[in-house]
Amino acid sequence: MTDDELDPLIHVPARLRILATLAALHEGDTLSFTRLQEMIELTSGNLITHLRKLEDARYVKSDKTGSGIASRTSVALTTRGREALDAYARALRAVLDGI
């Protein structure tokens, strides 16, 4: 197996950290945008950009409640995202075994 077979969407430091952090949540739980940002230490602009890419691939889903200053955005890993991360981890092991 080669590096090319690693999911390019996940094989980027920021997005890998986002998915690995969300994977630590229990199924059905969501994490607030603010807490996620604190945990992975990205600026909100960068986090939004990476989350959009992951959302476009349906690896994560976000939900906004409330409006204005009281708004709250929650983020969660989708089943598809969890499977993609598992597949990425398996692919990564295979690549490392081949080195």
Partner 1 sequence: MNESHDSTETPANGEETLDPRDAATLLTQTKDKATRELEVNSMLLCLLGGSSIIIGFGILWMSVRNQHPYQGPTPGSIGLFYLLILGIDVVAIAAYRRSSRGVRGQRRKDRQIIGAVGATGLVGIFVVMGALEHAGVSHSVVYGIYPATVPLVFFGLIGAVGAASREDWTLFTAALIISLVAAGAAFGGPAGAWFITGLGSGVVLFGCAGVKLIQRRAR
Residue numbers of the site for partner 1 (CB under 8 A)? 3, 6, 8, 11-17, 20-21, 23-26, 28-36, 39-40, 42-46, 48-53, 55, 62, 64, 68-69, 71, 73-74, 76, 89, 92-93, 95-96, 99
User: Which residue matches tokens 């983020």?
Assistant: 75
- DSSP 8-state class, residue 34: H
Could you tell me the smallest distance in angstroms from the CB atom of residue 84 to partner 1? 13
Q: For residues 21 and 80, which CB has a smaller minimum distance to partner 1 in the complex?
A: 21
d(CA 30, CA 63): 9
Could you tell me the smallest distance in angstroms from the CB atom of residue 58 to partner 1? 14
d(CA 99, CA 84): 23
Q: Are 51 and 60 in contact (CB under 8 A)?
A: yes
